[in-house]
Amino acid sequence: MPDGTDKASEPPSASSSASATPRQGTPETSTLRQRFRSLAEEVGKGMDDLSVRVRAAADGTLKVIAPGTPYDQLELHTDDDHKAHKQRQRKPAKKGWKWTGRRLTSRAFVLGGIAVWSATTTDMTPEFADLWPMIQNSLDLRELLGNMTFIESVQKGMFENRDFTIGDDLISKYGLKQDKPIILLPGIVSTGLESWSTEPVARPLFRSRLWGTSTMIRAVLTDKDRWVQAIAIDLETGLDPPGHKVRAAQGIDAASEFIQGFWIWQKVVQNLATIGYDTNTMDMAAYDWRLSFYNLEIRDAFLSRLKSRIELLKRRTGKKIVLASHSLASDTCSFKWVEAEPDAHGFGGGGGPTWVDDHIDSWINVAGTLLGVPKAMTAFLSGEMRDTVEINPFGSYVLERFFSRKERARLFRNWPGSSSMWMKGGNRIWGNGTNAPDDPVNATDTYGNLFSFRHKDVEPVDSKLTEETVAPNLTVSDAVPYVLTHTPPEYQRMFATNYSVGFETDPKKLKENGAHDHTKWSNPLEVELPNAPGMKIYCLYGHGKETERSYWYVKGEYEQADGRADALDEQAFCEADDEDCERVPLDFPTNRAHWIDNAVTIKGVLPEVRNGVKFSDGDGTIATLSLGAMCVKGWKGKTRWNPAGIEVVTQEYKHQPESLDLRGGPLTADHVDILGSSPLNAAILKIAAGRGDLVTEQIGSKIEEYVERMEWD
């Protein structure tokens, strides 16, 4: 473990119940449709006048300014930004219908689910009973429903025209047809999870989807504590908590959609089917993303089953396999497990040094979390990301009411698999306190300080934020141990026995890591690629969308917690074999509360700070620096990390969203929505059909400049 570094208005109570807040005007004998219509009309009554303004941003987008409403900070796009809009006759737009997708989707999803649930449930939880009057006073649901109905009709027509067309076009142009078998590996939180326990505490949830589908939402709203208990992993064992047994759904449907209407891999599956693929030549390797890489094999034999699937497909078809991974799944494609000889506990695939070259034709790495994700660091430290600090008061109230920052952080820590998204490579990759590889030209600040702490008594304006009033400033090398010290001992032990975030340059050590040390296998900077000169790697990802890169933080008061970071300096760490490192005696409060300092907004500086967050280029989730550094430098040609000289092709896609499409349209490059984009689907089909030669290098970001500023030697 690295040495620790320690530099060191409340929502209303839910005292009312459903019985104290009757729903008037809804006859008990009415139909669900009548009840919902009545409920929607009830919400629209008594609305206060709203102050709504529209502000133009420097990039040509527009932003709604409506403090205290769910519309605050919504982004709008003008038709002039999109070629497709210029090609058709423009018609007057209906009021409110050009909201961008992700913000509207989240609000419509939450509010629609809450409204339907309340319309069909006789007893509200105390939290919801307290929340409902706030919804009535802050949102015109009638307008929202009208907008949603209109958008749904537009989207339906658009999707009917777009579904299958990519495959049809490629058949017409190149004569593409099914060739190489393909296995899809979904990313984090993509695979549905369902309960299989028959213990009394879990029996009501048997075979219910605890992650994915609307069942998850109902479970959270009706019995949040039981849902959290079921969905969390026991950090002491790394496996299921007592009384619960949650497993990944299987088959193509396991990750095709998250909930009905919100597709993930569905567009890829549809287009592959268009050129002839079916379940005999295409598979979805769904897995429990909560588990660490090691325990995926120990509990579920996931890696063994994946190896067997690949061997079976090759034996049946006589052709090598294409692997297509998304996001976190890129970590499972280090191929080190399959090459390694089984250890004393049987962990290792025993395939030997030629297995990958014999069985894998290509690896399609879609938006892989190769060198980590900055927002993962904040999730583990304080349980928040931009998604929680920049939303309007209504959304913030819901999140804080049902999942406080502390609860969210605890939940993230109880998903060991997500720890593979920690930032890797330290200051060599991510920069220091003076500069960072991806700093903008003429920068007045730097991304290199991942966390900057403003003193609580200092006004959050540029003139007051100096070296004396901002401390400490933590680089990535500082922040990794800092975050670890603010996690409980059992998490620290789990991290030490499963993950590593270092940087290795010694070829001998790189080879040893790949053969014997599974903690290094999810870090591409600490292991070699397989000895597979016949394989090809395609790095496909988006850029051009602002993405979280570094943060302003503030410390609060001391509080009781599961760690001891702010009291014992270097003793805050628990070594993996230290069973005596437990909670502080008498539970004395030794941890400082942390949260993103959303009071800090500094304009006119580079990079700009907004709501305590500095943004860089990326796909909205992962910075371009992490998406592309290994592809254009670390693995390019014969390097110490790619001694076999595996060919690597990088194809970037610029984010060009359509305002009419909630998921961004055919040219989106958003981290998840890219799975429905036309260029990405076309690339996957070409590779699977044996025409990978049609997928050529395409770089539009500044990633090639960034990597030259990194310290590779």
Cα torsion angle, 495, 499, 504, 508, sign: positive
| Residues annotated as part of the active site | 327, 619, 671
Written as six digits, the tokens of 467 are 């070296």
Give the integer Cα–Cα distance in Å for 591 and 11: 24
* Cis amide prior to 530 (ω within 30 degrees): no
Tell me the angle at which helices 374-382 and 405-413 cross, rounded to the nearest 10 degrees.
120
Q: What are phi and psi of 196, to 5 degrees?
A: -125, 5
Angstrom distances, CA of residue 160 to CA of 100, 152, 316, 462, 685? 20, 12, 35, 51, 20
- Which helix (H) or strand (E) segment holds residue 596: the answer is strand 591-596
Q: Where are the alpha helices (DSSP H) in 32-125?
A: 32-43, 83-86, 101-119
* Rounded CA Rg of the chain: 25
Displacement of CA 583 from its chain's centroid (Å): 31
The C-alpha atoms of residue 153 and residue 275 are separated, in whole angstroms, by 28
H/E element holding 547?
A: strand 545-559
Asked if 664 contacts 151 with a C-beta cutoff of 8 angstroms, the reply is: no
The torsion of the CA quartet 674, 679, 680, 683, rounded to 10 degrees, works out to: 180
* CA proximity to 292, closest of 477, 202, 421: 421
Contacts of 195 (CB under 8 A, 6+ apart): 202, 205, 206, 207, 208, 210, 230, 244, 245, 246
**Residue 49: DSSP 8-state:** P
Give the other-Cβ count within 10 Å of 91's Cβ. 6
Tokens 């506990």 found at: 345
Contact between 228 and 402 under an 8 Å Cβ cutoff? The reply is: no
Transcribe 308-375 into DSSP letters: HHHHHHHHHHSSPEEEEEEGGGGGGGG-HHHHSPP-TTS-S----TTHHHHHEEEEEEES--TT--HH
Within 8 A by CB and 6+ apart from 606, the residues are: 439, 440, 441, 442, 443, 444, 445
Helices first, then strands: H and E counts in the chain: 25, 20
Token duo for residue 134 = 């706030």
Strands 62-65 and 53-56: antiparallel
